[in-house]
Structure 1
Amino acid sequence: MFAPLQNDTFLRACLRQATDHTPVWLMRQAGRYLPEYCATRAKAGSFMGLATNTDFATEVTLQPLERYPLDAAILFSDILTVPDAMGLGLSFAQGEGPKFAKNVRNEAAVNELAVPDMAKLRYVFDAVTSIRKALNGRVPLIGFSGSPWTLACYMVEGAGSDDYRQVKSLMYSRPDLMHRILEINADAVALYLNTQIEAGAQAVMIFDSWGGVLADGMFQQFSMAYTKRVLAQLKRSHDGAVIPRLVFTKGGGLWLPEMADLDCDVLGVDWTVNLAKARAQVGGAVGGPGKALQGNLDPNALFAPADAIATEARRVLDAFGKPHTDKTTTGPTQIFNLGHGISQFTPPESVGVLVEAVHSHSRALRKP
């Protein structure tokens, strides 16, 4: 049904296999920093108009790949599609971020929650299949979801938050309700990601964007435990291909040694993490088990002049160190990314400088 893959560098790096260069893709690579994205969004009329239209979602997913030799595409969608399908009523006001018509703050609201019928998310799966066909084997397609905890933050707050007061109040005062929300979210996320895999996603990523706002002890109970619950239900392979599983917790560097036990292939880290330390903690040895690492340039480095961007890219690659080069076994690998999503104000030409620097310097690092 789909064309054979021409560039599998990203998938091999996810599985800790030696590659000729360090693969690079960017969180939010299809986004507002690209004028062509803004033009398509204007045609669509709204963010949800863009995300729910298969042709538009396909078009914007491919836009960054037309400009830059990136090593992976990521589905254009939003993490909040799942709670929207639960009936919470998602909308995006221009420049304001997401809002829900209903929030989940009491027993009655929690009792109404259920794993949604995936038919309500058909537009996502149609987009996955359409994008995969349009890529024509150029690079792999990553599917994704928000983590159970991150989705719960938005569901309880009703929107984004600066202090997470509502969700943390519920967590501390009624942990039983919080656990119930998270159980439903975890089972919904697992089903959602498995359906993306069936539609054509070649890797899946869990974005725990707000895991880092939790206290130590609370992170393990209310975030990591439910990420584990998702991972336990995910398909390991589809159509004869292994499906790598990636987990990114923003602000989660403190818990990397504990996350080494997660049943996933890749751990993403933000820019506060030292990659050499992270590699020592979770990267494993050649021939042994471990996690691939994804990250971790500060997105604001892309506002610097071109030579400074290239210097920072090389610094991140040097921090990780020489990747293993033995193609007969597995070992420590890096997938280059930003430590969070790309800013809408990023000059598009800065991304070109970054991708070129990553590819050229990572090739040089592999030379004997």
Structure 2
Amino acid sequence: MDKPLFLRTLAGQASPTPPLWMMRQAGRYLPEYREVRAKAGGFLDLCYNPALATEVTLQPIRRFGFDAAILFSDILVIPHALGQKVWFAEGEGPKLEPITGEADLVRIDEALSLERLAPVFEALERIRAALPAETALIGFCGAPWTVASYMIAGKGTPDQAPARLTAYRDPAFLDRLIDLLVESSIAYLCRQVEAGAQVLQIFESFASALPPGLIERLSFAPLRCIVAGVKARHPHVPVILFARGAGPRLEALAATSGAEGIGLDWSVDPAWAAATLDRKAILQGNLDPLALIAGGKALEDGVAAIRAAMGDRPYIFNLGHGIQPQTPVAHVERLVALVRS
């Protein structure tokens, strides 16, 4: 049997119709997701319930026939599995008991407990068994800088100031935390592959917060280490890096990361990316999620611009960030029709 279109594209094979999926495609814009979420209890309860996590992962595949499903989980399961207290406050987002220095490291484990993440791996096994053969399965984790930012601040912050201050005031502590997250991410992603993931995506959600003097040390070097660590055990599993807000610095990342795919956020000019980034890099993106909410001409022009910019280059169609809860389902249906027309 031929590989799924998504995997063929990541292997460098161009197609007249690009593969399509959306970040956060299992989410609150879908009424069926909201029904499951309401009966799941807390958000982490949903992430750690294999049956429910499988159900919400499959919902957008059933409805839209996307070319890839992405595991329903959260980037903060790694600090949670390391022993940090993590919870989700309704209407406020994630909360963590902050880890701000060497003295706090005694509160977390020195190595990731894969046993604590067993429900995630069970969900992957269930999802893989339930997916159509033509639909690829994506596993994921958060990048060390992004996850460390949450661990240090104890919550999401507008500009990651607590973690950036730590980078200046206590670089040895932050380097130690980043190293722990690199090793944890490698172990977690490899176990996802063993449970059925065929592609891996790493979310560097806060690349935009890092100045030139820090981005190599705290973001790009750790990303390269994770890719190399995964490839040492699973050399044929493609990896996509999504460094939100990296802008022109994506050129260096694409050339040196060892990853097959480079995700573009909505602020990146797709024509610049197609002309500038390493030709071997499979680009992914990057429709503005607000153009999808708006629909109509904004949606049509956005899709057309990306498709024209990519030309004959293999690429994956996606949004430039996660789909928003207020997105009309009809607009997603229209997106699918436009991309596949």
Query: Which among 258, 262, 277 is matched to residue 263 of structure 1?
Result: 258
Shift of 1:66: 1.2
| Partners of 1:194 and 1:235 within 8 A in 2 | no
Shift of 1:44: 0.8
| Partners of 1:57 and 1:77 within 8 A in 2 | yes
Q: Confirm whether residue 335 of structure 1 aligns to residue 316 of structure 2.
A: yes
- What letter matches 1:293 in structure 2? L
Q: Confirm whether residue 302 of structure 1 aligns to residue 310 of structure 2.
A: no
State percent identity of aligned pairs.
Answer: 41
Shift of 1:337: 0.6
TM-score when normalising by structure 1: 0.89
The corresponding residue for 2:121 is 125
Count of equivalent residues: 339
- What letter matches 2:284 in structure 1? Q
- What letter matches 1:315 in structure 2? A
Deviations 1:269-308 (A, max 9, x none): 1111111221222242xxxxx1000111110001223343
The corresponding residue for 1:326 is none
The corresponding residue for 1:233 is 229
The corresponding residue for 1:347 is 328
The corresponding residue for 1:366 is none
| Partners of 1:128 and 1:201 within 8 A in 2 | yes
| Partners of 2:189 and 2:230 within 8 A in 1 | yes
Alpha-carbon spacing, 1:12–1:236, altered in 2? closer, same or farther (3 Å): farther
Shift of 1:334: 1.0
Alpha-carbon spacing, 1:236–1:136, altered in 2? closer, same or farther (3 Å): farther
Q: 3-state SS of the aligned residue for 1:105?
A: coil
Q: What is the alpha-carbon distance in structure 2 between the residues aligned to residue 70 and residue 85 of structure 1? A: 30
1:199-238 equivalences in 2 (<5 Å): 199-235=195-231
Shift of 1:121: 0.6
The corresponding residue for 1:107 is 102
Q: 3-state SS of the aligned residue for 1:87?
A: coil
Deviations 1:164-203 (A, max 9, x none): 2211111101111110000000000011000000000000
Q: What is the alpha-carbon distance in structure 1 between the residues aligned to residue 239 and residue 17 of structure 2? A: 21
The corresponding residue for 2:281 is 291
TM-score when normalising by structure 2: 0.96
CA RMSD for the aligned pairs?
1.6
Q: What is the alpha-carbon distance in structure 2 between the residues aligned to residue 343 and residue 195 of structure 1? A: 30
Q: What is the alpha-carbon distance in structure 2 between the residues aligned to residue 249 and residue 236 of structure 1? A: 22
Question: Please, which runs of 5 or more residues in structure 1 have no aligned partner?
Answer: 285-289, 324-331, 361-368
Shift of 1:217: 2.1
- What letter matches 1:183 in structure 2? D
Q: What is the alpha-carbon distance in structure 2 between the residues aligned to residue 237 and residue 17 of structure 1? A: 24
Q: What is the alpha-carbon distance in structure 2 between the residues aligned to residue 217 and residue 79 of structure 1? A: 25
Q: What is the alpha-carbon distance in structure 1 between the residues aligned to residue 213 and residue 8 of structure 2? A: 34
Q: What is the alpha-carbon distance in structure 2 between the residues aligned to residue 305 and residue 254 of structure 1? A: 29
The corresponding residue for 2:178 is 182
The corresponding residue for 1:365 is none
Q: Confirm whether residue 145 of structure 1 aligns to residue 126 of structure 2.
A: no
Query: Which among 15, 36, 39 is matched to residue 11 of structure 2?
Result: 15
Q: Confirm whether residue 158 of structure 1 aligns to residue 157 of structure 2.
A: no
Alpha-carbon spacing, 1:353–1:283, altered in 2? closer, same or farther (3 Å): farther
Shift of 1:236: 6.3
Q: Confirm whether residue 248 of structure 1 aligns to residue 229 of structure 2.
A: no
Q: What is the alpha-carbon distance in structure 2 between the residues aligned to residue 64 and residue 261 of structure 1? A: 34
Q: 3-state SS of the aligned residue for 2:82?
A: helix
Q: What is the alpha-carbon distance in structure 1 between the residues aligned to residue 258 and residue 111 of structure 2? A: 23
The corresponding residue for 1:319 is 309
- What letter matches 1:269 in structure 2? L
Q: What is the alpha-carbon distance in structure 2 between the residues aligned to residue 128 and residue 303 of structure 1? A: 30
Q: Confirm whether residue 191 of structure 1 aligns to residue 187 of structure 2.
A: yes
Q: What is the alpha-carbon distance in structure 2 between the residues aligned to residue 122 and residue 277 of structure 1? A: 42
Q: What is the alpha-carbon distance in structure 2 between the residues aligned to residue 236 and residue 63 of structure 1? A: 33
| Partners of 1:236 and 1:242 within 8 A in 2 | no
Q: What is the alpha-carbon distance in structure 1 between the residues aligned to residue 75 and residue 82 of structure 2? A: 13
Alpha-carbon spacing, 1:64–1:98, altered in 2? closer, same or farther (3 Å): same
Query: Which among 21, 29, 34 is matched to residue 33 of structure 1?
Result: 29
Shift of 1:24: 0.8
Alpha-carbon spacing, 1:236–1:265, altered in 2? closer, same or farther (3 Å): farther
Q: 3-state SS of the aligned residue for 1:88?
A: coil
